[in-house]
Amino acid sequence: VLTQSPGALSLSPGQRATLSCRASQSVSNSYLAWYQQRPGQAPRLLIYGASTRATGIPDRFHGSGSGTDFTLTITTLEPEDFAVYYCQQYDSSSWTFGQGTKVEV
Amino acid sequence: QVQLQESGPGLVKPSETLSLTCSVSGYPISTYWGWIRQPPGEGLEWIGSIYHTGSTYYNPSLRSRVAISLDTSRSEFSLKLTSVTAADTAVYYCAHILTGPYYFDYWGQGTLVTVSS
């Protein structure tokens, strides 16, 4: 089970966002990813391997953590960053998503 | 350019079978693929995955009702979900899974399936 916190984060453009993803069991760093979902759109891969940005993802997105605690940090929020963020893990041919954190204005 | 496109009925009656197809272009079909769904206003739920060898893996909560298949000649893979109820109403996404790190790197746009009589 992946538990994300907080459920919602109210911030303003220019501020820093810190999102947490906690796993019920230790996760290999290789198998932890983060996605962004804007309203009406499919999820978009942001971070894989816990800390590697996917192609085309701005460097204001940072992934960190290990074991059971992982963090997605958005250093300076841009207007297009207000969205829902999901963490995802893989383990033994099974995939699990966190319940999501909504970053709102 | 990698493109995934879901297709299938947008309305299914309770107790019937939901059937969707994902057409793939711009990427070899001989890799790893998955289905994910999202009920209205809720989060993402992994449904199942299929490897090009035909091996399938399903969410334990749906395993008794789900089947995923692959048609390499048509570059498409399919989802069948039996005995649907209103709780199966969701946007259904197909996605490519990068083998090794096992994340979803390419997604279809999603298709809304409503279960209602």
Mutate to test the interface with B, among A28, A85, A95 (most CBs of B within 10 A): A95
8 Å CB contact of B43 and A86 = yes
Q: Quote the pLDDT of residue A30.
A: 81
Question: What amino acid occupies position A39?
Answer: P
Question: What amino acid occupies position A20?
Answer: S
Task: Please state the length of chain A.
Answer: 105
Nearest Cβ partner for B104 among A30, A45, A94? A45
Q: Quote the pLDDT of residue B100.
A: 80
pLDDT tens for each residue of B50-89:
999 989 999 999 999 999 999 999 999 999 999 999 999 9
Q: Quote the pLDDT of residue A28.
A: 84
Q: Quote the pLDDT of residue A79.
A: 95
Q: Which residue ranges in chain A fall short of pLDDT 70?
A: none
Q: Quote the pLDDT of residue A8.
A: 96
Q: Which residues contact A95 (CB under 8 A, 6 or more apart)?
A: A88, A89, B34, B46, B49, B102, B104
What is the rounded radius of gyration, in angstroms, for the C-alpha atoms of chain B? 13
Is B21 at the interface with chain A, CB within 8 A?
Answer: no
φ, ψ dihedrals at A80, nearest 5°: -75, -5
8 Å CB contact of B59 and A94 = yes
Does residue B101 have a pLDDT over 90? no
Nearest Cβ partner for B102 among A43, A90, A97? A90
8 Å CB contact of B107 and A94 = no
- Compute the nearest-CA separation of B38 from chain A (Å): 10
Is A89 at the interface with chain B, CB within 8 A?
Answer: no
Give the chain A residue whose CA is nearest to the CA of B59.
Answer: A94
Q: Quote the pLDDT of residue A74.
A: 97
Question: What amino acid occupies position A52?
Answer: T
The string of DSSP codes covering A34-99 is EEEE-TTS--EEEEETTTEEPTT--TTEEEEEEEEEEEEEESS--GGG-SEEEEEEE-SS-EEE--
pLDDT tens for each residue of B8-65:
999 999 999 999 999 999 999 889 999 999 999 999 999 999 999 989 999 999 999 9
Does residue B99 have a pLDDT over 90? no
What is the rounded distance in angstroms from the CA atom of residue B83 to the CA atom of residue B37?
16
Q: With beta carbons less than 8 A apart as the criterion, state whether A86 and A72 touch.
A: no
